[in-house]
Amino acid sequence: MRSGNPSLKADSFDNFNDTNIGRKMTIQGTVNKTFILLLLLLVTFVYSWNQFVNSPNSVLPLILVGAIGGLIVGLVTIFIPKISPFTAPVYALLEGLFLGAVSAQYEAQYGGIVFQAVLITIGVLFSLLLVYKSGLIKVTQNFRLGIAAATGAIFLVYLISFIGGFFGFQIPHLHEATPLGIAISVVIVIIAALNLVLDFDFIENAADKGVPKYFEWYGAFGLLVTLVWLYLEILRLLSKIRSR
């Protein structure tokens, strides 16, 4: 199994013996955990949003804590899946702090954009879930490899852009509202969305393999990682379109 999502890496569910795992992971259990994580994210999202509304200059610490803390907790969860029942909720809370402040900043500049981005993200999630369950998209090995490679390429481009920013270098059109910049964002949104299909497939295969119960939290965490990325990319795309 393979997913473009780095948290759902190919060997995450290997090396388990059915005779000593006890309770098994289920798809329904993973869905339930995903909703719990989304609710936790929403709590800190609303808090961070209100902080921006009350004092716009006070949210920078929330952004830094959410972004850096979320990254650290996410990496720990990836390397130690067994503690995901504890770290996944913490990750959701931290991401809520980050997303709430960032979303409020976008909303202040482009009224109504956050509601649009949330609706589109939810629409993409359920549309792709329906398409996946109907079998219209076949998750072949080449499909997995292609999306994983595209995701890695996007990460590399963002990394180069981030590092280049310290030296006054920016990748042309990546952050600009030009027609090409919008087209680039559309492609990135499509790749992020297709990662959801890989995540669905990965979780389904993991449940079929009878992995331990705590992997429900790990699968929900991995799905949340993709949803956060997809939402941010949709927000960026809409802001580029609105700025024109």
Residue 205 CB: number of other CB atoms within 10 A? 14
- pLDDT, one tens digit per residue, over 21-30 is 468 999 999 9
Has residue 1 got a pLDDT over 70? no
Structural tokens at position 8:
């759902």
Has residue 9 got a pLDDT over 80? no
Three-state secondary-structure class, residue 242? helix
Alpha helices, DSSP H, located in 55-83: 60-79
Give the integer Cα–Cα distance in Å for 12 and 15.
9
Has residue 4 got a pLDDT over 60? no
Average pLDDT score over residue span 37-52: 96
Q: Which of 10-14, 24-28, 135-139 tops mean pLDDT?
A: 24-28
Give the integer Cα–Cα distance in Å for 123 and 111.
20
- pLDDT, one tens digit per residue, over 142-178 is 999 999 999 999 999 888 888 887 777 777 778 888 8
Q: Phi-psi category of 87—alpha, beta or left, where left has phi over 0 and alpha has psi -120 to 50? A: alpha
Residue 196 CB: number of other CB atoms within 10 A? 25
**pTM of the predicted model as reported, rounded to 2 decimal places:** 0.89
Has residue 5 got a pLDDT over 70? no
Side chain identity at residue 226, one-letter code? T
Give the integer Cα–Cα distance in Å for 118 and 103.
10
- pLDDT, one tens digit per residue, over 64-114 is 999 999 999 999 999 999 999 999 999 999 999 999 999 999 999 999 999
Mean pLDDT score of the chain: 89
* Backbone phi and psi for residue 212, each to the nearest 5 degrees, phi listed first: -60, 155
Structural tokens at position 146:
């292609």
Contact partners, residue 79, CB within 8 Å, separation at least 6: none
